[in-house]
Chain A
Amino acid sequence: MRIDRFAVRVVLVGIVCAVGTLWLGWLSVPCAGFVYGLLEGRVPARGLTAAGGAVLAWAGLLAAEWARGADIGLVATQIGAVMHLPGALLLAVTLVFGAVLAGTAAVLGAGISGAVTGVYVAKRAQAPEK
C-alpha cells in the first residue's frame, strides 16, 4: 500500500516535471521539486519521490523522442565522446542531473515547510486559550 502511494506520487511529480520541461525548460524541474517539498513536507521520502519523478519525466521525454525515430544512442555516444564520457554515462548524468535538482529542491522545500509549520505550531501553543 505504501509502495503504491510512493509510485503514485512519483508519477504525479514526473508528469509535472515533464510538462514543465516541455513548456518552461529544465529550471521547472527544481521548481516542481521545491513546490512538492513545500506541499508534502510531512510525507516521508519526499526527496526520493521528487528525484524519481524527475528521472521518470526526463527518461519519458527521451523515450518519446526515440519512439519518433530520433537516434538517442548516436547522440549519447558522440556527445559523450566530446565530454570524454561513455554514451551510457552521459545518459545517466542527464537523468541524475534532473534527479538532483528535483530531489534537493524537494528536501529544501520540505525543510522550509517544516520550519514554517513549526513556528506556526509553536505560536499556536504559546497563544492563550480563549
Chain B
Amino acid sequence: MPPKPLVITLAAVALAATLYAGLRPIGPLPPLGRLLDPVDGVWANAGTSVPAHSEVTNIPGLKGPVDVRYDTRGVPHIFATSEEDVYRALGYVVARDRLFQLDIQTRAATGRLTELVGRQALEADEEPRMMGMPRAAERKLAALDPGGVSRRMMDAYTDGINAYIDNLKPKDYPIEYKLLNARPERWHSINSVHLLNQMGLTLAAGGPDHRLLRAAALIGDSAAESVFPVHSPIQEPIEPVAGWSGPHNRFQQIAPPGPPDTAAARVSSLFQRFEGNDPTTETHRSFASNNWAVAPSRTKDGYALLAGDPHLQLTLPSIWYEVHLVVPGKLDVYGVTIPGSPGVVIGFNRDVSWTFTNTGADVMDFYRETVDDTLNPKRYRVDGEWRDLVTRLEEYRDQSGSVIHTDTVRYTHRGPMTRDHGQWVSMRWTLLEPSNEIRAFYDASHARNVYEFETAMARNYWVPAQNMLATDRNGSIAIRSTGHFPIRPSGRTGEFIFDGSSSANDWTGYWPIDKYPQSVNPAQGFLASANQEPENPESQFGYLGDDADYEVWRALRINQLLRTSTRVTVDSMIRWQTDPSSVRADLFVPYFLAAAKSEDSLGRGTRNLDSAATLLGQWDRKYSRANTRAVLFETAMQQLSDLTWDELMRGGKRVATPSTAVLAELMSQPTNAWWDDRRTKDVVEGRDDILAKSLVAALQIVTRKHGAPDAGGWRWDRVQFANIYHLLRIPAFSALRIPVQGGVGTLAPSSGTGIFGPSWRMVVEMGPEVRAWGTLPGGQSGNPFSPRYKDHLRFWESGVLQPLMFPRTAAELPAGATSATLKLEPPGR
C-alpha cells in the first residue's frame, strides 16, 4: 500500500533538510555528510591513530632508496644516499606527521587564513600583509641562486611534501581539514621562507619603545627615560666582562614624575598596534629562552656540556619536530626542525652541538613620511625630491575563493608604509631584506667545530638575531649574538620615530661581525644566555636596542648556578632547566619582610600585616608545585607594581609598566617621589609604606580568592598552569591546566595564561661519543588521535629528558628500539 500524501510530504521535507545539512555548512558546523561518513569522514581518522608498522612508498624525484626508522619516541631516523634525497624524505615524513600544521602556519604567515576559516580571520591576515611579509618572502626566494644549495634543498623538501599530499585520499585528510571543510593545498618552496619570516615576526618585531613614548606623554621625558632606560639597571651580560664576578648594578637616581610631554603623546598614538603585552601587568616577555654551556674544566666527566630550551608558544602539535638525518660520509645531524623549513634548527652532529636564544635587538625602525596626497599617496619626498611609491594589491579570499577584501600596500625604499592617525609612516625591518637562513642551517649541520659553526651562521643568518651557543668535541664553547644589527645615523637609537624626508636618517649598514657580542672559551669556563643584554653597555659598538621585556632574572640565576658548580653533570644540567629558585623572589621578599618589621617598630603594624609577613617568611622562595606561598608573593608584587607606578595611569588604566629590574633600582631609593601614592593627598608615602600596603592587600586578595593559607587552595599547582592549545584552539585537542614547576623569572618560566614555555629541552654531552637528551611539550604526531600526539608531555611536565638515539647506521638502531619503518623508493622500483 503506497504511503499517504501527508507522510510523503513529511518524508520529502525531512529528506531535503537532512540533505541540506549533509551538503551545506550550518553555522560553525561543516557539512554533516562528509563529516559523518563512516568511510571518509571523521571516523576514518580513528584508523590513522594506529601507526603503520611498515610501509613502502614511491616518491617522484628520489635518486635512491631511503630507509626511515621511527624509534620508540616516534623520531624518524632518515638514512639516504644523497643530501637532496634526505631533504626529500624529510619533507615527506614531516607532511605525514604534521600536514595541517604546515598548512595553517603558512597561511598565517602569508595572511591567507580567511581561505580556511573565512572572514573572521581578516584582521589576523592583514597584519603580515601590511607589514610586507609576503612580498619580502618573494624577494628573498628570488634572490637565492636557483642552482644553489638552499634552493635545491628547499625544492627537494617541497617534492617530499607534495609526494605525500598527492597520494592522500580524502579519508586520510587530517581531522582539522574535515572540521573546516577544507583540503590540503600543494606545497611551494616559498612556504619555507614564509615560515621563517613568521618566526622572525614573533622574535624580532620590536619597534620603537612605545612604552617610553606613552610614559613620556604622562610624566615627561626625564622620568620616562629613567624608568624605561635603554639598558637594564642590573647587568650580567652574555659576553663575560673582565673583572666582573657576578651581576653588576648600574643604579642611578630615578627622576621623579614631571609634567607631560605632548609631542610624545602625539607620536605614541601611532604605535598602538605594538601594544603586545598587557601594560598593566609586571613586565616579562612571555616567550624567552635559555642556553648555557660548560667547558670540560668545570664538568665532572671532562666533556663539554650544552643545554638549551627555547621558550615559545606552547602548541599542539609542538612548534618543533624531532628528526635525525643521515647521508653516510656527508651528513649526520640530529635535532629539531620547524615543520615546513628544511633543516635542523637546534641540534647536534658528531662534532658540534648548538642552540639559540633570542637576542631581542631593535631591528625595526619607523619613518614619518611626507607624501603628495594624504588620502591616496603616489609619491613620497626624500631630500627635496619626489619618489614614486611602489604599490601592491593584497586580495583576501574566502573558502570559496571569492575576494572578500582588498588592501593596497605602499612601499617606500625603506619598506611598507601605513597610515596611522592621519600620518603616513614607513618601516624598515631587517626581516624584509634578502637573507638565507636555510643555507645557514645547512652549513651548521656540517660544522666540525664551534668556529666553523659560528662562521657559517654569521655568513648567512641575519634575522631574527639569535644568541648562538655551541660546544664541540674538542671541548670548546662559544657564543655569538648573530644577525643583522643596523647602524643608525650617529648618536641615534631606534626608540623614536625618524624623519623620513631626509636620507641622512637611513641606516648606513650593519654591524661588522667582529663587533657582534661574542665569546669563545672564556676563562670562567661557562657561557650562559637567557635573553639578557648581550654585552656590557659600556663597550657596545653601537645601539643594539635591549628588549626590556626580557627580564634579567633567569640570566642571574643560571650564572649563579654555573659559578658555584665546578663538577657539572648531565643530571645537574637537566635539573637546572626546571630549577624552581628565583633571584627575583630572593631580592624582593626581604624588602617586604623588612618593611613589615619597620612598620611594626614604628607602631603602625597591624595584625594583617603581621600575618602576611609571617606567611611570606615561611616561603623557601621556590616555585615548586606544592609550595603554598608563591601565590602570596606574586599577588604582593602585582600590588606593589600597581601602587608604585600609579603615576603611569591614564583613564583608569596603566599605559606601561617598568621592568622589575627598575623596581629593584627604585628599592634602593626609599624616599623617591615615585613611592608616593597620589590618591592619599595628605600623606607622602615612602617605600616601606607601599611595601606594607601591598603585602596586606595581597593577603586579602589571596584569601578571598583561594581560601585560608593552609586549606590547599594556595598550592602553586592549583594557581598556575601551562595551557597547551591545539592550533585551532580546540579544547578537546589541547592539553590544559598542566601543573608545572616554575614561576615568573625562574629558568622554566610560567606566568599569566601559561601559553608560553619551554618548547624544546635539550642537553648534549660532547664526549668521545655524543650523547643527548631531550623532550617536547607534546609529541611527534599532529594527529590528535595518535598515541604520539602528546606522549612526551608527561616527561616535559616533570622536567625529565629522555635519551635521544643517535645511531650512525640503520643497523645500529636495535630492533627493539624501532617502532615503525618506512621505505621510500624512486618510482618504478
How many angstroms from the CA of A24 to the CA of B271 in the assembled complex? 55
Contact of A105 among B3, B15, B41, B731 (CB under 8 A): B15
| Binary flags per residue of A104-119, CB closer than 8 Å to B gives 1, else 0 | 1101101101110110
Report the nearest B residue to A83, measured CB to CB: B29
User: Which residues of chain B have C-beta atoms less than 8 A from A115's C-beta?
Assistant: 2
Q: How far is the CB of A130 from chain B (nearest CB, A)?
A: 28
How many angstroms from the CA of A22 to the CA of B32 in the assembled complex? 17
How many angstroms from the CA of A74 to the CA of B783 in the assembled complex? 12
Q: Is B50 an interface residue (CB 8 A)?
A: yes
| Contact A101 to B42, CB < 8 A, known contacts A78-B785, A108-B8 | no
Q: Is B403 an interface residue (CB 8 A)?
A: no
Asked if B18 contacts A104 (CB within 8 A), the reply is yes
Asked if B34 contacts A26 (CB within 8 A), the reply is yes
Asked if B32 contacts A97 (CB within 8 A), the reply is yes
How many angstroms from the CA of A105 to the CA of B785 in the assembled complex? 34
Q: How large is the interface on A (under 10, 10 to 19, 20 to 34, 35 or more residues)?
A: 35 or more
Asked if A100 contacts B32 (CB within 8 A), the reply is no
How many angstroms from the CA of A128 to the CA of B1 in the assembled complex? 26
Asked if B732 contacts A81 (CB within 8 A), the reply is yes
Asked if B1 contacts A42 (CB within 8 A), the reply is yes
A residues 60-83 touching B (CB-CB < 8 Å)? 61-62, 65-66, 68-72, 74-75, 77-79, 81-83
Report which residue of B36, B45, B50 has the largest number of chain A beta carbons within 10 angstroms of its beta carbon. B36
Q: Is B452 an interface residue (CB 8 A)?
A: no
How many angstroms from the CA of A79 to the CA of B37 in the assembled complex? 14
Q: How far is the CB of B520 from chain A (nearest CB, A)?
A: 51
Asked if A100 contacts B14 (CB within 8 A), the reply is yes
How many angstroms from the CA of A101 to the CA of B19 in the assembled complex? 7
Q: How far is the CB of B698 from chain A (nearest CB, A)?
A: 37
Report the nearest B residue to A41, measured CB to CB: B2
| Contact A118 to B2, CB < 8 A, known contacts A97-B18, A101-B18 | yes
| Contact A74 to B49, CB < 8 A, known contacts A21-B38, A107-B8 | yes
Report the nearest A residue to B44, measured CB to CB: A65
User: Which residues of chain B have C-beta atoms less than 8 A from A104's C-beta?
Assistant: 11-12, 14-15, 18
User: Which residues of chain A have C-beta atoms less than 8 A from B496's C-beta?
Assistant: none
- Please classify the interface of chain A as helix (H, G, I), strand (E, B), loop, or mixed, using the class held by over half of its residues: helix
Asked if A108 contacts B12 (CB within 8 A), the reply is yes
How many angstroms from the CA of A12 to the CA of B45 in the assembled complex? 28
How many angstroms from the CA of A76 to the CA of B411 in the assembled complex? 51
Q: Is B255 an interface residue (CB 8 A)?
A: no
User: Which residues of chain A have C-beta atoms less than 8 A from B43's C-beta?
Assistant: 61-62, 65, 70, 72, 75, 94
| Contact A25 to B11, CB < 8 A, known contacts A110-B3, A114-B2 | no
Asked if B39 contacts A75 (CB within 8 A), the reply is no
Asked if A25 contacts B784 (CB within 8 A), the reply is no
How many angstroms from the CA of A56 to the CA of B570 in the assembled complex? 59
Q: How far is the CB of B729 from chain A (nearest CB, A)?
A: 11
| Contact A93 to B36, CB < 8 A, known contacts A30-B19, A78-B733, A100-B14 | yes
Q: How far is the CB of B174 from chain A (nearest CB, A)?
A: 13
Asked if B38 contacts A79 (CB within 8 A), the reply is no
B residues 541-587 touching A (CB-CB < 8 Å)? none
How many angstroms from the CA of A98 to the CA of B8 in the assembled complex? 18
Report the nearest B residue to A106, measured CB to CB: B11
How many angstroms from the CA of A10 to the CA of B343 in the assembled complex? 56
Asked if A78 contacts B732 (CB within 8 A), the reply is yes
User: Which residues of chain A have C-beta atoms less than 8 A from B49's C-beta?
Assistant: 70-71, 74-75
How many angstroms from the CA of A71 to the CA of B730 in the assembled complex? 19
Asked if A26 contacts B2 (CB within 8 A), the reply is no
Q: Is B179 an interface residue (CB 8 A)?
A: yes
| Contact A111 to B2, CB < 8 A, known contacts A69-B50, A74-B46, A93-B36 | yes
| Binary flags per residue of A50-66, CB closer than 8 Å to B gives 1, else 0 | 00000000100110011
How many residues in B have their beta carbons less than 8 Å from beta carbons of A?
A: 39
Q: How far is the CB of B235 from chain A (nearest CB, A)?
A: 49
How many angstroms from the CA of A66 to the CA of B43 in the assembled complex? 10
How many angstroms from the CA of A61 to the CA of B22 in the assembled complex? 19
Asked if B45 contacts A107 (CB within 8 A), the reply is no
B residues 46-99 touching A (CB-CB < 8 Å)? 46-47, 49-50
Q: Is B7 an interface residue (CB 8 A)?
A: yes
Asked if B46 contacts A58 (CB within 8 A), the reply is no
How many angstroms from the CA of A81 to the CA of B45 in the assembled complex? 16
Q: How far is the CB of A43 from chain B (nearest CB, A)?
A: 9
Contact of B3 among A22, A78, A97, A107 (CB under 8 A): A107
Q: Is B40 an interface residue (CB 8 A)?
A: yes
| Binary flags per residue of B4-36, CB closer than 8 Å to A gives 1, else 0 | 010110011011001100100000010011101
User: Which residues of chain A have C-beta atoms less than 8 A from B39's C-beta?
Assistant: 21-22, 25, 61
A residues 17-48 touching B (CB-CB < 8 Å)? 21-22, 25-27, 30, 41-42, 44, 47
How many angstroms from the CA of A122 to the CA of B457 in the assembled complex? 90
| Binary flags per residue of B795-825, CB closer than 8 Å to A gives 1, else 0 | 0000000000000000000000000000000
Q: How far is the CB of A33 from chain B (nearest CB, A)?
A: 9
Report which residue of B5, B43, B731 has the largest number of chain A beta carbons within 10 angstroms of its beta carbon. B43
How many angstroms from the CA of A81 to the CA of B784 in the assembled complex? 13
Contact of A75 among B8, B12, B34, B45 (CB under 8 A): B45
Q: How far is the CB of A102 from chain B (nearest CB, A)?
A: 10
How many angstroms from the CA of A44 to the CA of B22 in the assembled complex? 28
How many angstroms from the CA of A74 to the CA of B732 in the assembled complex? 11
Asked if B29 contacts A94 (CB within 8 A), the reply is no
User: Which residues of chain B have C-beta atoms less than 8 A from A103's C-beta?
Assistant: 11
| Contact A25 to B37, CB < 8 A, known contacts A97-B32, A113-B2 | yes
Q: How far is the CB of B182 from chain A (nearest CB, A)?
A: 15
How many angstroms from the CA of A103 to the CA of B11 in the assembled complex? 8
How many angstroms from the CA of A58 to the CA of B43 in the assembled complex? 11
How many angstroms from the CA of A99 to the CA of B47 in the assembled complex? 24
Asked if B179 contacts A82 (CB within 8 A), the reply is yes
Q: How far is the CB of A80 from chain B (nearest CB, A)?
A: 8
Report the nearest A residue to B19, measured CB to CB: A30
Asked if B18 contacts A100 (CB within 8 A), the reply is yes
Q: How far is the CB of B81 from chain A (nearest CB, A)?
A: 34
User: Which residues of chain A have C-beta atoms less than 8 A from B8's C-beta?
Assistant: 107-108, 110-111
User: Which residues of chain A have C-beta atoms less than 8 A from B5's C-beta?
Assistant: 111
Asked if A111 contacts B47 (CB within 8 A), the reply is no
How many angstroms from the CA of A79 to the CA of B730 in the assembled complex? 10
Asked if B2 contacts A25 (CB within 8 A), the reply is no
What would 4 more interface pairs be, CB under 8 Å, given A61-B39, A78-B732, A114-B1?
Answer: A71-B785, A75-B43, A75-B785, A83-B29
**Interface pairs (5), CB distance under 8 Å:** A30-B19, A79-B175, A111-B2, A111-B5, A111-B11
Please name the 10 residue pairs, one residue from A and one from B, whose CB atoms are nearest each other, closest first. A114-B2, A111-B8, A81-B732, A70-B46, A107-B11, A104-B15, A61-B38, A26-B37, A70-B47, A104-B11
